[in-house]
Amino acid sequence: MEKEIYLAGGCFWGTEHYFKQIEGVVETEVGFANGHTASPTYKEVYTDTTGYVETVYVKYDSNVVSLEFLLQMFFKAIDPTSLNKQGHDEGTRYRTGVYYTSADDLPTIEKVFSEEQKKYQQPLAVEKLPLENFYTAEEYHQDYLDKNPDGYCHLPEALFEFARQAKEKR
């Protein structure tokens, strides 16, 4: 069964590329979530005045990969205690978050957040909210690292290989 989750892990170029490697992810799209203007452009979001966060829409086959596994993989790709900063990217548009469209996903999200929190002294700085809105980013941002293999990315190449090899134990 196909399901969806929206994940913000810093710059959306690397976050999208990372999730595309995971078996069971059937579609990804980069865009902007949970802001307060209509149809924002990248240039507008970049100003950090729109409230939007760079986010990746992830559609996955729940018969192949679970939400719990995807969220565990998400936490491997972020610094969950860093507020509004991932790698060299700073600003509210780079905050981390999990945005859900089904309240049925909340118990799983809460479970993974609780497990992750045990690994840190300081509180997690990862948003956990219902998706309010999502606008697709401009075409040149879609599949950016496929189009630009040497393009900027805050995630190390080894992490993409890790995602390609990751298999959920079911």
Active site residues: 11
Cβ(60)–Cβ(70) under 8 Å?
Answer: yes
Cβ(24)–Cβ(61) under 8 Å?
Answer: yes
Cβ(56)–Cβ(28) under 8 Å?
Answer: yes
Compute the distance between CA of residue 117 and CA of residue 124 in angstroms, rounded to an integer: 6
Q: State the Cα angle at 125 between 37 and 114, rounded to 5°.
A: 120
In a 13 Å sphere around the CA of 154, the CA atoms on its Cβ side amount to 17
What is the amino acid identity at position 74? F
Cβ(13)–Cβ(153) under 8 Å?
Answer: yes
Question: Could you tell me how far CA 65 lies from the centroid of its own chain?
Answer: 16
Of 120, 54, 129, give the one whose Cα is nearest residue 90: 54
